[in-house]
């Protein structure tokens, strides 16, 4: 379940305010969520949940991850006019935000795979509080990988851990405390530190804030001892250069924190 009824109630209450008369429209109506630009659609599951919560019938729609064109209807509904109007702005905002993430992710995946068809594009934990589930699913809709969904999914040994414990001791410290099924990823800031991390037991080595040349050197020194990930300031324009380095994963915080929202309109009429 992407969203709960409590979340939907909060979204609707936030938009409705204390006293609104604009939704006090009698009768039945239909509504269509229409794309105003090309892109990749996402956020349909929570959008449908909003309308279902309001008792609005869903009559048609496209599928999550579909490519859409300007003018295309992605979701159609029918029901009480008051309920349709109450849900439309929340739905437009959710689908627009999620589709922006999916569209940017698809562009990054395409750019990477034109160079290396084996590299994965992944999101990060740089998500909007309360919307992580929607945003992570939008990354998947765009063809990307979720990366870890929360802190419990994988141990990430970062610079502060290494500063406190030392690289090898930090890996050993966390290895003793996690399940055998939990992977350990180690963030390194120098190409040569990747091999040291792998020899100490890292499953994944993250080459952080390095140039493509530095990442390529780190991957070469790693010699397939662990999965290799590049991250830190990577943009749509620089994705191809990092894809050439031989890394297995390119993670991009910009997929969720900087994706422009896709433009949608909601049109009603009997």
Show which residues are catalytic: 126
Strands 28-35 and 264-268: antiparallel
Distance CA 226, CA 219 (A): 9
DSSP-derived secondary structure for 187-230: EESSTTHHHHHHHTT-SEEEEES--HHHHHHHHHHHTTSSEEEE
The residues, any chain, with a CB within 8 Å of residue 264's CB and separated by 6 or more, are 33, 34, 35, 36, 74, 92, 95, 96, 99
Q: How far apart are CA 142 and CA 139, in angstroms?
A: 5
The SS3 assignment for 74 reads strand
Distance CA 47, CA 42 (A): 9
């Amino acid at each position: 379940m992407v969203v709960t009824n409590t979340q939907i109630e909060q979204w609707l209450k936030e938009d409705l305010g204390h006293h609104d008369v604009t939704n006090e429209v009698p009768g039945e109506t239909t509504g269509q969520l229409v794309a105003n630009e090309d892109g990749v659609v996402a956020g349909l599951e929570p959008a449908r949940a909003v309308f279902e919560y309001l008792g609005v019938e869903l009559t048609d729609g496209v599928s999550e991850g579909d490519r859409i064109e300007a003018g295309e209807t992605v979701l159609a509904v029918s029901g009480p006019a008051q309920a349709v109007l109450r849900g439309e702005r929340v739905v437009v905002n959710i689908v627009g935000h999620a589709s922006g993430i999916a569209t940017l992710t698809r562009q990054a995946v395409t750019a990477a795979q034109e160079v290396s068809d084996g590299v994965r594009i992944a999101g990060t934990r740089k998500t909007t509080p309360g919307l992580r589930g929607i945003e992570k699913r939008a990354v998947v809709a765009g063809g990307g990988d979720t990366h870890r969904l929360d802190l419990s999914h994988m141990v990430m040994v970062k610079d502060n851990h290494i500063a406190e414990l030392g690289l090898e001791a930090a890996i050993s410290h966390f290895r003793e405390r996690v399940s055998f099924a939990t992977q350990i990823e180690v963030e390194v800031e120098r190409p040569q530190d990747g091999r040291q991390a792998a020899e100490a037991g890292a499953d994944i080595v993250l080459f952080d804030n390095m140039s493509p040349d530095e990442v390529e050197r780190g991957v070469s020194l790693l010699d397939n001892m662990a999965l290799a990930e590049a991250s830190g300031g990577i943009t749509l324009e620089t994705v191809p250069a990092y894809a050439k380095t031989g890394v297995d994963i390119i993670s991009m915080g910009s997929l969720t924190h900087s994706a422009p929202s896709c433009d949608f309109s909601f049109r009603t009429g009997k």
